[in-house]
């Protein structure tokens, strides 16, 4: 009988055993196979087999003295099994992949093999001792998993490389084997490997990737998916279904009876397309869709959803409808105060949060009414739902109704064809904050009263009544009783919204909070360590703060820009002292761009109603006969910002004049400046 010698580097039997099984897969009993490890082969010990197989051409010189006739030596060309290769194509293109084998030389050979097989969408990194693999997450190895660094989380083991079809043909020819059975086995074997000459079957590759993508998408779904063929057997199911029904393993091909009697009874019903079934303490909504191929029945598709998941979807939809910043960001923990009056107000607000009644928050402008409204919402049972804030004074009267109540498609000129959901509907199960409610038009006051009484809304242009479950928190800085006396606010609406009144004290009534808030705002602006002289402290405590915390925030911004370390009486804004302003420091700073140029830019900003960007400023300056370049305007704005005469923002609003900037400009107008 013919014999074949397999020569490997060492006496490890794993590779030798894999090659022996590989040879027997095709040759069967046509040849005896012997293993010769080079590390234990005695010098001069002959290898008399008919054919000697080595893995690398570099090993042939090592066989001198062992093989009398070098022509009996054959270098084995190896490839990979087809089923193992296609997994590699699922790795995203451009990924760095570590390649690991038992020896640096065989590692490079494996890299070359992968490239030869047209796997060219990855960055292969050959492994060697000491290599930094911190940024690599995937490794490929041909049967040497134990040599892969432990830090690599994903390992694709393609198994020991198998003998290529070209090498088998060479072996059969050299040994003179002529057996039809060997030929048949060789044909079957060729269908299971990626031949080095033909490469990867691209049709199989694309099919594998599509199946892998489909399997991933199906198993990412939170809904249970079940496909049943015409014989009543399971053709496909996903992980979500297995979790819902407490299934174990792959049930493909099993009868639907394995899903349990309650589920089987529903799946085999002839009538209906949707049912609710109880299964092991879970309420499931099951829908069915018939499948047809070429017009003939081919099975049924079933979709399973847990009722609790459907409720979660409704809640998620409510949250996702919160557009344009309609979110609650503040909690009671964000309310900074040491004032007994304010602490009493916060304590009352916390108790109000535990109820579901309508709230009316009153207080001067800038006292923090919306902060308390958001905190009440966050501490209520509706905290996981929408918080929709509407400024009734900021939205034009002709748009406020459609914003609040929504409208049907084509309800008026310019309306969206599909209609629009109103803010009351968007806030369903959540909270609506109506700021500056005193400015709500009388017509909408009547409609709001219906919402509060009936918890129902009707869209503009519709007759359909929509039920809503909302809590309303209203706020105003006006005396609503006086507005009722003047006929500008409905008395019945006042009593409806004033169920739980909350009065926010102004800053002048909580002097304990002035420096607490001032230091907090300065810290947010990265200005810590400022010290105040006793005179400056006394002036800040004596000032009545008509703009409340909003005005205090402006003062903090001013001090942050204009003060180095010690805040003196002279460093405070002039209006806090009741004295006319002086602008010596501002004029010194603006000398870098020229007072005339600064005056022109400030005058151009004064002409804008809501601020302007540089492009708009340049157009205004040109109309006023001032020829400035964009670079000159940019430099001037930078200095004006530093002087707190201008406030610049990102976006269309651009830059706008501050109150101090207006005073500074008035002074420049009365002077002759060139």
Instruction: For the chain, give the mean pLDDT.
Output: 84
Q: Are 617 and 633 in contact (CB under 8 A)?
A: yes
> Which architecture characterizes domain 2-76 according to CATH?
3-Layer(aba) Sandwich (3.40)
Asked whether residue 314 carries a pLDDT value surpassing 80, the answer given is no
H or E element, residue 37: strand 31-37
CA 365 – CA 506 distance, rounded (Å): 9
CA 354 – CA 22 distance, rounded (Å): 75
Give per-residue pLDDT as tens, 343-376: 999 999 999 999 999 999 999 999 999 999 999 9
| Side-chain-side CA neighbours of residue 313 (13 Å) | 8
Mean pLDDT of 552-566: 85
Confirm whether 2-76 and 530-669 share one CATH topology.
no
- The confidence score (pLDDT) of residue 352 equals 95
CA 403 – CA 577 distance, rounded (Å): 44
CA 66 – CA 99 distance, rounded (Å): 33
Closest CA to 577 of 626, 602, 543: 543
CA 215 – CA 237 distance, rounded (Å): 10
Residue with tokens 């300056």: 621
DSSP line for 417-469: TT-EE-HHHHTTTSEEEEETGGGS-HHHHHHHHHHHHH-EEE-BT---EEE--
Judged by average pLDDT, the poorest of 354-363, 380-389, 414-423, 542-551 is 414-423
Give strand pairing partners of 155. Answer: 139
Q: Are 170 and 74 in contact (CB under 8 A)?
A: yes
Asked whether residue 449 carries a pLDDT value surpassing 60, the answer given is yes
Helices and strands (H, E) in the chain, number of each type: 25, 28
Mean pLDDT of 505-534: 89
Query: Higher confidence at residue 197 or residue 269?
Result: 269
Largest CA distance in the chain: 121
- The confidence score (pLDDT) of residue 414 equals 56
CA 419 – CA 402 distance, rounded (Å): 10
- The confidence score (pLDDT) of residue 277 equals 84
- The confidence score (pLDDT) of residue 672 equals 67
- The confidence score (pLDDT) of residue 324 equals 46
Query: Higher confidence at residue 410 or residue 131?
Result: 131
- Show me where the domains of the chain are located: 2-76, 79-161, 225-310, 332-505, 530-669
Residue with tokens 């990412």: 220
Asked whether residue 208 carries a pLDDT value surpassing 50, the answer given is no
Q: Which runs of consecutive H residues, i.e. helices, occur in 475-611?
A: 480-485, 491-497, 514-524, 534-542, 548-562, 574-577, 584-590, 595-606
pTM, two decimals, is 0.45
Asked whether residue 432 carries a pLDDT value surpassing 90, the answer given is yes
CA 166 – CA 481 distance, rounded (Å): 99
Query: Higher confidence at residue 5 or residue 204?
Result: 5
- The confidence score (pLDDT) of residue 673 equals 66
Contacts of 301 (CB under 8 A, 6+ apart): 225, 226, 227, 288, 289, 290, 291
Are β-strands 296-306 and 282-293 bridged in parallel, bridged antiparallel, or unpaired? antiparallel
Judged by average pLDDT, the poorest of 28-32, 485-489, 626-630 is 626-630
The residue length of the chain stands at 674
Highest mean pLDDT among 306-315, 344-353, 521-530: 344-353
> What letters, b where the CB count within 10 A reaches 16 and e where it falls short, cover 206-243?
eebeeeeeeeeebeeeebbbbbbeeeebbbbbbebbbe
- The confidence score (pLDDT) of residue 326 equals 61
- The confidence score (pLDDT) of residue 322 equals 47
Asked whether residue 312 carries a pLDDT value surpassing 60, the answer given is no
Give strand pairing partners of 657. Answer: 646
- The confidence score (pLDDT) of residue 212 equals 65
Task: Identify the band that residue 199 occupies on the pLDDT scale cut at 50, 70 and 90.
Answer: low
Domain 332-505 has CATH 3.40.140.80: no
Domain 79-161 has CATH 3.40.50: yes
Give strand pairing partners of 284. Answer: 277, 306
Task: Identify the band that residue 650 occupies on the pLDDT scale cut at 50, 70 and 90.
Answer: low
Give per-residue pLDDT as tens, 163-182: 988 899 899 888 888 888 88
Contacts of 295 (CB under 8 A, 6+ apart): none
SS3 632: helix
Burial of 458 (0-12, 13-18, 19+ CB in 10 A): middle
Closest CA to 585 of 603, 600, 568, 601: 568
Task: Identify the band that residue 321 occupies on the pLDDT scale cut at 50, 70 and 90.
Answer: very low
How is domain 225-310 classified at the CATH fold level? Beta-Lactamase (3.30.450)
End-to-end Cα separation, the chain, in angstroms: 113
Asked whether residue 204 carries a pLDDT value surpassing 50, the answer given is no
CA 243 – CA 222 distance, rounded (Å): 10
Q: How far, in whole angstroms, is CA 432 from its chain's centroid?
A: 27
- The confidence score (pLDDT) of residue 203 equals 46
SS3 111: helix
Give per-residue pLDDT as tens, 586-609: 888 888 888 888 888 888 888 876
Q: Helices 340-353 & 369-378, crossing angle to 10 degrees?
A: 40
- The confidence score (pLDDT) of residue 296 equals 73
Closest CA to 256 of 197, 314, 300: 300
Q: What share of the chain is helix, strand, coil (3-state, %, to 5)?
A: 45, 20, 35
Residue with tokens 């010769």: 36
Residue with tokens 């964009």: 630
Q: Is the dihedral of CA 39, 43, 48, 51 positive or negative?
A: positive
SS3 289: strand
Mean pLDDT of 77-91: 80
CA 373 – CA 351 distance, rounded (Å): 13
What CATH code would you report for 530-669? Answer: 1.10.10.10
């Amino acid at each position: 009988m013919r014999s074949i010698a397999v020569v490997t580097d060492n006496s490890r039997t794993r590779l030798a055993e894999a090659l022996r099984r590989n040879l027997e897969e095709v040759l069967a009993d046509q040849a005896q196979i012997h293993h010769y490890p080079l590390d234990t082969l005695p010098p001069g010990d002959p290898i008399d087999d008919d054919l000697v197989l080595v893995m690398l051409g570099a090993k042939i010189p090592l066989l001198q003295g062992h093989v009398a006739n070098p022509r009996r030596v054959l270098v084995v060309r190896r490839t990979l099994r087809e089923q193992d290769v296609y997994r590699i194509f699922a790795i995203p293109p451009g990924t760095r992949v570590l390649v690991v084998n038992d020896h640096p030389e065989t590692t490079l050979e494996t890299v070359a093999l992968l490239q030869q097989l047209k796997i060219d969408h990855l960055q292969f990194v050959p492994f060697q001792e000491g290599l930094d693999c911190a940024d690599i997450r995937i490794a490929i190895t041909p049967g040497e998993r134990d040599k892969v660094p432990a830090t690599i989380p994903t390992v694709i083991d393609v198994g020991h490389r198998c003998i290529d079809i070209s090498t088998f043909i060479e072996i059969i020819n050299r040994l003179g084997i002529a057996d039809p059975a060997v030929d048949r086995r060789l044909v079957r074997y060729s269908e299971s490997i990626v031949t080095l000459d033909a490469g990867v079957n691209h049709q199989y590759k694309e099919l594998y990737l599509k199946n892998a993508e489909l399997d991933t998408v199906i198993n990412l779904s939170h809904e249970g998916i079940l496909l049943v063929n015409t014989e009543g057997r399971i053709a496909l199911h996903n992980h979500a279904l297995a979790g819902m029904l407490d299934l174990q393993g792959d049930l493909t091909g099993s009868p639907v009876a394995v899903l349990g009697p309650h589920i089987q009874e529903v799946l085999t019903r002839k009538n209906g397309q949707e049912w609710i079934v109880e299964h092991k303490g879970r309420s499931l909504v099951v829908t069915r869709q018939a499948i047809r191929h070429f017009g003939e029945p081919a099975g049924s598709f079933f979709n399973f959803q847990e009722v609790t998941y459907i409720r979660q979807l409704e809640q998620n939809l409510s949250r996702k409808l919160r557009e344009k910043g309609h979110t609650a960001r503040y909690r009671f923990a964000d309310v900074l105060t040491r004032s007994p009056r304010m602490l009493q107000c916060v304590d009352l607000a916390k108790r109000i949060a535990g109820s579901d009644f309508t709230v009316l928050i009153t207080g001067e402008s800038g006292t923090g009414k919306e902060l308390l409204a958001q905190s009440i919402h966050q501490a209520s049972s509706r905290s996981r739902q929408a918080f929709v804030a509407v400024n009734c004074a900021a939205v034009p009267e002709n748009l406020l109704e459609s914003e609040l109540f929504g409208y049907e498609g084509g309800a008026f000129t310019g309306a969206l064809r599909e209609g629009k959901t109103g803010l009351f509907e968007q806030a369903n199960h959540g909270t609506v904050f109506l700021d500056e409610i005193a400015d709500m038009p009388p017509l909408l006051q009547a409609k709001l009263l219906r919402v509060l009484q009936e918890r129902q809304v009707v869209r503009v242009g519709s007759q359909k009544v929509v039920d809503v479950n909302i809590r309303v928190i209203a706020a105003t800085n006006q005396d609503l009783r006086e507005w009722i006396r003047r006929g500008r606010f409905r008395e019945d609406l006042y009593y409806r919204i004033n169920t739980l009144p909350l009065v926010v004290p102004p800053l002048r009534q909580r002097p304990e909070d002035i420096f607490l808030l001032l230091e907090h705002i300065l810290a947010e602006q990265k200005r810590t360590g400022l010290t105040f002289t006793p005179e400056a402290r006394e002036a800040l405590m004596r000032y009545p703060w008509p703009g409340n915390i909003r005005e205090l925030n402006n003062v903090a911004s001013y001090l942050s820009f204009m003060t180095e370390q010690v805040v003196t009486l002279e460093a405070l804004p002039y209006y806090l002292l009741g004295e006319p302003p002086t602008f010596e420091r501002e004029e010194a700073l603006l000398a870098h761009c020229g007072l005339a140029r600064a005056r022109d830019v400030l005058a151009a900003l004064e002409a804008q109603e809501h601020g302007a960007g540089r492009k708009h400023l340049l157009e205004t300056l040109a109309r006023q006969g001032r020829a400035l370049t964009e670079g000159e305007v940019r430099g001037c704005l930078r200095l004006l910002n530093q002087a707190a005469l201008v406030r610049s923002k990102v976006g269309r609003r651009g830059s706008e004049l501050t109150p101090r900037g207006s005073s500074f400009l008035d002074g420049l107008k009365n002077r002759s400046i060139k």
